[in-house]
Amino acid sequence: MNWAEVVEQLVDAVNVALDAGEWSQVVQLTTELYMAALHLGDGVFAELVQDLHWIANDALLHPLEVGEVIAL
């Protein structure tokens, strides 16, 4: 499997985890996706993935606030 296929599979997995609200899984998957994006040489995409990683990490630290935002 090449890096582009790895990235595609990880993006699909991240989307599923986001839809399910599984923030811990998003944190784990974005770590892998970040590395895969770097292997592809796509630094801009890697930075976006890193931002998503920190958003998901914040969601784990502040679950009540996330629940309020989602309820809006």
What is the predicted pLDDT for the residue at 1? 86
What is the predicted pLDDT for the residue at 63? 73
Please tell me the pTM assigned to this model.
0.86
What is the predicted pLDDT for the residue at 46? 97
Residue 27: which domain range? 3-71
Please state, in angstroms and rounded to a whole number, the distance separating the CA atoms of residues 71 and 48. 25
Note down pLDDT in tens along the chain; length 72 residues: 899 999 999 999 999 999 998 999 999 999 999 999 999 999 999 999 999 999 999 988 887 676 666 666
If one counts the domains in the chain, the total is 1
DSSP characters for 4-71?
Answer: HHHHHHHHHHHHHHHHHT-HHHHHHHHHHHHHHHHHHT-HHHHHHHHHHHHHHHHHHH-HHHHHHHHH
Please state, in angstroms and rounded to a whole number, the distance separating the CA atoms of residues 12 and 23. 15
Q: Are 24 and 12 in contact (CB under 8 A)?
A: no
